[in-house]
RNA sequence: GGCCCCAUCGUCUAGUGGCCUAGGACACUGGCCCUUCACGCCGGCGACUCGGGUUCGAAUCCCGAUGGGGUCACCA
């Protein structure tokens, strides 16, 4: 009874895809993989004026980064191609003509100037906006004359003036629109390119798409599509309109909400696993206790029935938390490999490249629970690499300490450590705890100045581990530098 | 403004008539752990938009209001 599942992601290369866009791609992909159906990518490049260079690459790159593989589409081909609408123009043109012949569409010769004036008048009179159907009832004579004159024309759909158009939405149930509220919308432009509605309906049919899963912003144009399917004698697919993703101001997420594109998140150091998991949770949930899912789990458990109907705000705090979660669970080797390119790029220029991967691997366990993105690492771990640490000498002197006692503490540490044979976490802890005892100060009063001396900061990874990674030579050099700084006061 | 969709903590959500004095997560916050920061652990704050029905019983069903969003291009 049911046709095989074939779903599509049909972006247009008019901008870099933002998270909402990719979320819809993800839901399509999950639905296909869950049901054993096909996932098709089709590029809707019918708006030549708005095409943004590089956006097609960004779309493809985003899908690949997330691991959303497609069965048919650009780069992989398929039996229903071409998958670029700009390469399918004759198909749309032929069917548009066919619609005219069958009485479902008509040629319109109105100039954009006339349309602008018409809209201005409608706005001024507070009338509903829409085409006044000037060319709908042209006499055969008038029409022939205009056609003969070679005046540019477009093709419009002849929307029924009465009646209602009803369809089922898988998430929302029955949705109905009065035809009287629907415009004689454009099917084919002057330049011979189709408008979305025409190309989309034709291709979904020719590519045998079974389910149209798209964002809610399309809900109100669905009756146009339903009428088109009927006029073309095509069977309509099933529709399901996904909830919108809103920016913090509650409006539809867009460029003006800041870093909204997927590539930006990648460049900011969010993990692919994080984004996949997070995007899945944007408008879908399993239950009240599970929310960490890997790719295979998502495929196994995804279902359209559990997609929400309510638009939701993109929760950046939660994204950060999730990314931290994934970073903490990544094996050290894996995390190191992912961190390396970010550190190579972001660490201060004076640090020698390439970085020593073994050294980085040692420090990764020390920073992994302190960073929330891969990009954080460079700023957090720079002291592991720097030759000269920059900090205010006053920072060395702790709350209850004086310059004198601090000097004594650092001097004592230098003494003990220079004669320390094995320089590891355990020996350092043992030595330094005893030193604090001997000096008659609290451990913290010794450790804090040491931390500043060796890391230049007062919030750093655990001291002994850090010093062990830095190594004896570097630590002593830094303690001496701190001593010099204090003496110079 | 017309049309359409939606409505549970600040945010994301669980909940499909009794399991709900409404559960979880993020954020916020108190504490513990502790050499700092972070992680982790324990606790707290915090919501069914309102008004009518239906029902023995409503967050759950119906109606209305209100609120929010989307859409009204030779853009998708």
- Per the residue annotation, which of A3, A94, A145, A255 is the catalytic one? A255
Chain A 221..240 CB hits on strand B (< 7 A): 221
Q: Would you say the C-beta of A464 is within 7 Å of strand B?
A: yes
Tell me how far apart the alpha carbons of residues A267 and A346 are, in angstroms, rounded to a whole number.
12
- Residue A358 CB partners (closer than 8 Å, separation 6+): none
Q: Would you say the C-beta of A111 is within 7 Å of strand B?
A: yes
Domains A332-382 and A393-487 share a fold: no
Instruction: Identify whether A400 is a catalytic site residue.
Output: no
Tell me how far apart the alpha carbons of residues A253 and A250 are, in angstroms, rounded to a whole number.
8
Output DSSP code: residue A30: H
- Strand nucleotide closest to residue A129 (CA to C1'): B72
Read off the pLDDT of residues A269-301 as tens digits, 9 standing for 90 and up: 999 999 999 999 999 999 998 999 999 999 999
Taking only the tens of pLDDT, chain A with its 489 residues reads: 468 999 999 999 999 999 999 999 999 999 999 999 999 999 999 999 999 999 999 999 999 999 999 999 999 999 998 999 999 999 999 999 999 999 999 999 999 999 999 988 888 888 888 999 999 999 999 999 998 998 999 999 999 999 999 999 999 999 999 999 999 999 999 999 999 999 999 999 999 999 999 999 999 999 999 999 999 999 999 999 999 999 888 888 887 777 679 999 999 999 999 999 999 999 999 999 899 999 999 999 999 999 999 999 999 999 999 999 999 999 999 999 999 999 999 999 999 999 999 999 999 999 999 999 999 999 999 999 999 999 998 899 877 788 888 999 999 999 999 999 899 999 999 999 999 999 988 899 999 999 999 999 999 999 999 999 999 999 999 999 999 988 875
Q: Would you say the C-beta of A168 is within 7 Å of strand B?
A: no
Q: Would you say the C-beta of A165 is within 7 Å of strand B?
A: no
Architecture of the domain defined by A88-242: 3-Layer(aba) Sandwich (3.40)
Q: So where are chain A's domains?
A: 88-242, 255-329, 332-382, 393-487
Architecture of the domain defined by A393-487: Orthogonal Bundle (1.10)
Q: How far is the CA of A288 from the C1' of B21 (A)?
A: 20
Chain A 283..312 CB hits on strand B (< 7 A): 283, 285, 287-289, 291, 305-306, 308-312
**CA–CA–CA angle A200, A284, A237 (5° rounding):** 25
Q: How far is the CA of A57 from the C1' of B38 (A)?
A: 38
Q: Would you say the C-beta of A266 is within 7 Å of strand B?
A: no
Asked whether A13 and A48 are in contact (CB, 8 A), the reply is no
Q: Would you say the C-beta of A321 is within 7 Å of strand B?
A: yes
Query: b/e map of A19-30 (b: 16 or more CB within 10 Å)?
Result: bbbbbbbbbbbb
Its CATH class, for the domain covering A332-382, is mainly alpha
Q: Tell me: domain A255-329, CATH 1.10.1160.10, correct?
A: yes
Phi, psi dihedral angles at A18 (to 5 degrees): -95, 175
Positive/negative CA dihedral, A99, A105, A111, A113: negative
Asked whether A205 and A232 are in contact (CB, 8 A), the reply is yes
Beta bridge partners of A212: A239
Chain A 376..395 CB hits on strand B (< 7 A): none
């Amino acid at each position: 009874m049911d046709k095989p599942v074939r779903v599509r992601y049909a972006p247009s290369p008019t901008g870099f895809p933002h998270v909402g866009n990719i979320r819809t791609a993800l839901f399509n992909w999950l639905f296909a993989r869950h049901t054993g159906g096909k996932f098709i990518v089709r590029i809707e490049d019918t708006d030549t004026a708005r095409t943004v260079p590089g956006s097609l690459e960004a779309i493809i790159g985003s899908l690949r980064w997330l691991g959303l593989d497609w069965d048919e589409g650009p780069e992989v081909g398929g039996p229903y191609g071409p998958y670029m609408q700009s390469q399918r123009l004759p198909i749309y043109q032929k069917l548009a003509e066919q619609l005219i012949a069958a009485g479902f569409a008509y040629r319109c010769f109105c100039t954009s100037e006339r349309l602008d004036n018409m809209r201005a008048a409608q706005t001024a009179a507070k009338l509903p906006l829409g085409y006044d159907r000037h060319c709908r009832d042209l006499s055969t004579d008038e029409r022939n004359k205009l056609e003969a004159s070679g005046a540019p024309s477009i093709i419009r759909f002849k929307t029924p003036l009465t009646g209602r158009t009803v369809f089922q939405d898988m998430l929302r149930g029955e949705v109905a629109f009065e035809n009287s509220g629907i415009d004689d919308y454009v099917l084919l432009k002057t330049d011979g390119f189709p408008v979305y509605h025409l190309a989309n309906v034709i291709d979904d049919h020719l590519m045998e798409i079974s389910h149209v899963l798209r964002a809610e912003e399309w809900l109100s144009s669905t009756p146009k599509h339903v009428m088109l399917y009927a006029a073309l004698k095509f069977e309509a697919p099933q529709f399901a309109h996904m909830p919108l993703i809103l920016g913090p101001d509650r409006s539809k997420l867009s460029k003006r909400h800041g870093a909204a594109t997927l590539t930006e998140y990648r460049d900011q150091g969010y993990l692919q696993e994080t984004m996949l998991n997070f995007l899945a949770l944007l408008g879908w949930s399993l239950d009240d206790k599970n929310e960490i899912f890997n790719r295979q789990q998502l495929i196994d458990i995804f279902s359209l029935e559990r997609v929400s109907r309510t638009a939701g705000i993109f929760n950046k705090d939660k994204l950060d938390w999730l990314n931290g979660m994934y970073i903490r669970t990544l094996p050290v080797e894996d995390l190191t490999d992912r961190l390396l390119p970010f550190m190579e790029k972001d660490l201060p220029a004076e640090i020698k490249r390439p970085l020593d991967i073994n050294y980085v691997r040692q420090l990764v366990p020390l920073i992994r629970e302190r960073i929330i993105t891969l990009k954080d690492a460079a700023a957090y771990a720079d002291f592991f690499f720097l030759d000269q640490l920059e900090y205010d000498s006053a920072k060395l002197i702790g709350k209850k300490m004086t310059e004198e006692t601090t000097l004594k503490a650092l001097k004592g540490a230098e003494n003990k450590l220079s004669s320390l044979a094995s320089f590891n976490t355990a020996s350092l802890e043992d030595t330094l705890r005893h030193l604090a005892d001997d000096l008659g100060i609290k451990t913290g009063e010794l450790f804090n100045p040491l931390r500043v001396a060796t890391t230049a900061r007062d919030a750093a990874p655990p001291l002994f581990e850090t010093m062990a990674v830095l190594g004896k030579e570097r630590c002593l050099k830094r303690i001496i530098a701190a001593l010099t700084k204090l003496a110079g006061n």
